[in-house]
């Protein structure tokens, strides 16, 4: 197997916040280092899981710089800079690049529903400006626009557009991309429950939420698969399923942020309009994450 540019397990990081709802940069650094210790080869900062839609640009830039400082090259830091305004995305990508990040995540423009030609122009403009490796994020369930295989294939000719985080959930589409994309272009599962199936059709890894809790297991699953131990990989996948169901039983990142708090990190609650789990939902989540709480991380004194 080729070595993917961002590694096999890229964690879409939550954003720690204090009791007042302000970003907690110290806890962000601690979490980033811990994720590197537990299977993460890359970190997406300020993505959907990191509550990017409710962060200010200044908060995002501070988070990018803080994670770069914390990991010191142990993992690739990928800044989520994409939006539905091409000019703003271009300018913000330049600012993110100045923070020392290793790559850019650019989501399909949401709400304005551009045609495929508009998507091509949008992503090329971001890649031209950032002068960093770009991972396209295709998640039509949130954006209402599907970045089609033909579009990705055309974009893959740009020297800095190197990967896609595929969250369409369509294995036929994803298989088509894997089959036709150049070998230099990496296809990542954007859904934890499809990490192993997508690896089986040519994917290189996963941009994961569950790796906050089970990063070592997810890495082991993919390592086993790529080493040819398919039965062991399938066994780990099956072991993970109750956790994956619990982490996505409610809109993400609500459950994963609650799970990370159970690990001993002071991450706070999600910003509105995302709300807290109900007591019943918290109990279900606690039951699902229990196998991974044998050695919780202690929260340092403040």
DSSP secondary structure letters along the chain: ----TT-SEEEE----B-TTS-B-HHHHHHHHHHHHHTT-SEEEESSTTTTGGGS-HHHHHHHHHHHHHHHTTSSEEEEE---S-HHHHHHHHHHHHTTT-SEEEEEPPPSS---HHHHHHHHHHHHHHH-S-EEEEE-HHHHS----HHHHHHHTTSTTEEEEEE-S--HHHHHHHHHHS-TTSEEEESSGGGHHHHHHTT--EEEESTHHHHHHHHHHHHHHHHTT-HHHHHHHHHHHHHHHHHHTSSSTTHHHHHHHHHTT----PPPTTS-PPPHHHHHHHHHHHGGG-SSPPPPPP-
Q: Would residue 275 count as lying in a domain?
A: no
Q: Is 165 a catalytic residue?
A: yes
Which of 137, 188, 219, 257 is the catalytic position? 137
The domain in which residue 42 lies consists of: 9-232
Q: Is 111 a catalytic residue?
A: no
Q: Would residue 181 count as lying in a domain?
A: yes
Confidence of residue 166 (pLDDT cuts 50, 70, 90): very high
pLDDT tens by residue, 225-265: 999 999 999 999 999 999 999 999 999 999 999 999 999 99
pTM for the whole structure? 0.94
Q: Would residue 212 count as lying in a domain?
A: yes
Which of 165, 188, 219, 225 is the catalytic position? 165
Q: Would residue 277 count as lying in a domain?
A: no
pLDDT tens by residue, 21-62: 999 999 999 999 999 999 999 999 999 999 999 999 999 999
pLDDT tens by residue, 85-123: 999 999 999 999 999 999 999 999 999 999 999 999 999
pLDDT for the residue 298: 44
Q: Would residue 238 count as lying in a domain?
A: no
> How many independent structural domains does the chain possess?
1
Q: Would residue 240 count as lying in a domain?
A: no
Q: Would residue 225 count as lying in a domain?
A: yes
pLDDT tens by residue, 220-233: 999 999 999 999 99
Q: Would residue 175 count as lying in a domain?
A: yes
The CATH number of residue 226's host domain is 3.20.20.70
pLDDT for the residue 299: 46
């Amino acid at each position: 197997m080729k070595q993917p540019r961002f590694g096999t397990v890229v964690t879409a990081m939550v954003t720690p916040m204090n009791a007042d709802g302000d970003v907690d940069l110290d806890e962000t650094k601690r979490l980033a280092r811990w994720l590197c210790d537990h299977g993460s080869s890359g970190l997406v900062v300020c993505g959907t899981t990191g509550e990017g839609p409710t962060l200010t640009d200044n908060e995002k830039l501070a988070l990018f710089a803080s994670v770069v400082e914390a990991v010191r090259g142990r993992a690739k830091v990928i800044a989520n800079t994409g939006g539905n305004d091409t000019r703003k995305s271009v300018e913000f990508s330049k600012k993110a690049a100045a923070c020392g990040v290793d790559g850019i995540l650019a989501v399909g423009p949401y709400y304005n529903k551009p045609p495929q030609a508009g998507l091509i122009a949008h992503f090329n403009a971001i890649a031209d400006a950032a002068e960093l490796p770009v991972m396209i994020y295709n998640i039509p369930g949130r954006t209402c626009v599907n970045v089609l295989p033909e579009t990705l294939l055309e974009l893959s000719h740009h020297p800095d557009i190197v990967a896609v985080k595929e969250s369409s959930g369509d294995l036929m589409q994803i298989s088509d991309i894997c089959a036709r994309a150049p070998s230099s272009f990496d296809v990542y599962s954007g859904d934890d429950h499809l990490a192993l199936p997508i690896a089986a059709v040519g994917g290189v890894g996963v941009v994961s939420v569950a790796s906050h809790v089970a990063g070592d297991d997810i890495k082991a699953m993919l390592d086993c698969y790529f080493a040819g131990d398919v039965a062991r990989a399938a066994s780990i996948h099956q072991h993970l399923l109750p956790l994956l169901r619990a982490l996505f039983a409610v809109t993400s990142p609500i459950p994963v942020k609650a799970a990370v708090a159970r690990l001993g990190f002071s991450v706070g609650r999600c910003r509105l309009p995302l709300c807290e789990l109900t007591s019943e939902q918290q109990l279900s989540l606690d039951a699902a994450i229990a196998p991974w709480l044998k050695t919780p991380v202690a929260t340092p004194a403040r």
